[in-house]
Amino acid sequence: MIRTAEQVRDRFANRRLTVEYGDALETVRTILKSVELEGDAALDRWSEQLDGARVQEIPKREWREAYEGLEAGLRDALETAKERVEAFYRKEPQGGFLEATPEGVLGQLVRPLDRVGVYVPGGSAPLISSVLMAAVPAKVAGVGEIVLASPPRVHPAILAAAWVAGADRLFAMGGAQAIAAMAYGTERVPRVDKVMGPGNRYVVLAKREVYGSVGMEALPGPTETLIVADASADPRLLAADLLAQAEHGPDSEAWLLSPEGELLEAVAAELERQLSDLPRADVARQALARSGLVRVESLEQALEWANLYAPEHLCLSVREPLEHLGQVRNAGGIFLGEHSCEALGDYIAGPSHVMPTGGTARYGGGLALRDFLKVIPVVGLSGQTAARLAGLGARLAREEGLEGHARALDLRARHET
């Protein structure tokens, strides 16, 4: 299980986000096209065929009833998570600017999106945290309407989370057909401006196929964590954090990088001990087989390898994590110290758990208010300024071979009032 840094270098350096096609792509394209052309009729047909039920919009009365029916401890957890996520995003600046000078007006208008769709996977484990982690930041950003979609027989906890998050509408619909309905719109399902949320390969492929008709925050891949640890770290906590990641699915990745050989050996033993009674041990073992414990020469090398890997979650389980924060260039989210475990970030720490995967943290970060906002430049130059700049602009236009642009600018150059 323990590897050397050189053994993983190429794998870290050549990572990219991939979606397994198989026979799914043609199925997804067929679903998307039929919903685009036929609307609700195709939506219901696919929903009945794949999920065993027609699409329904679930009224808010049922959300409230589900919330009121929750055990008090779960209600408190939902409310606390919502409050912490909301408080975190209220700190993010979101204003534009408008500056008037003798040359005229230049600025930016910042406007929230009108409508956002959030896909919430169903199945045996209701992802109630996914509701809060997308809908609450959207609410803080001022999005006009938040539409949720989750496969039929929506779990009551998802209904309760929708109530807590302050979403506007919720449809019992899943899979590629739900993405199609939100991307294209039907008589019942409104067209959204952007689709958020994780899903299986059919959902991810559908999101990729409809991009352009609708915006996307990302194409989510398998989840991943990379931990950098020194001798101060507790092997029990490190093993527990690796397993918390590995139990997500067999394609998850959970890495530990450390220069401490004894620590790595202790963590390997702890993993075996904790796996012995983990309910999802089979899944976790498959994930660990594609991940591992890596011996590096120093913490500096560990952080360089971490930047190469660009993890969704980077955990600094070291004595003085703040001293190493400046070395981090690529990460979806950073967790400082072993008390700030990634599992807290999944649910209740404050930032959204929607973060880039598959190495895409090289060019993107975690979900932010800007994902729900659009920036509109504003230009209002005076006649004198326009005349002064027009000749230079015309020179550039002619270099590009765009005479029409140049002539429009020539006319401004002759009028200085």
Q: Please provide the DSSP assignment of 359-390 as one string.
A: TGGGT--S--GGGGEEEEEEEEE-HHHHHHHH
d(CA 193, CA 109): 18
CA angle 329, 242, 235 (to 5 degrees): 100
pLDDT at 124: 63
Q: How would you classify the pairing of strands 145-150 and 169-172?
A: parallel
pLDDT tens column, 113-138: 999 999 999 866 678 999 999 999 99
Annotated binding site for NAD(+): 119, 177, 200
pLDDT at 217: 85
CATH fold for domain 2-17+221-350: Rossmann fold (3.40.50)
- pLDDT < 50 regions, the chain: 417
Residue whose C-alpha is closest to residue 351's, from 95, 79, 129: 129
CATH fold for domain 23-216: Rossmann fold (3.40.50)
Annotated binding site for substrate: 223, 245, 248, 313, 346, 400, 405
pLDDT tens column, 323-339: 999 999 999 999 999 99
pLDDT at 416: 56
Annotated binding site: 119, 177, 200, 223, 245, 248, 313, 346, 400, 405
Which pTM value belongs to this model? 0.90
pLDDT at 215: 95
Q: Please provide the DSSP assignment of 173-220 as one string.
A: --HHHHHHHHHH--SSSPP-SEEE----HHHHHHHHHHBTTBEES---
- Among the options 209, 260, 313, 338, which is catalytic? 313
d(CA 210, CA 368): 22
pLDDT at 181: 97
Domain boundaries, the chain: 2-17+221-350, 23-216, 382-414
Q: Is 323 a catalytic residue?
A: no
- Among the options 224, 312, 338, 342, which is catalytic? 312
DSSP state letter for 325: G
> For residue 51, what are the contacts with CB-CB under 8 A and spacing of at least 6?
151, 152, 173, 174, 175
Q: Is 313 a catalytic residue?
A: yes
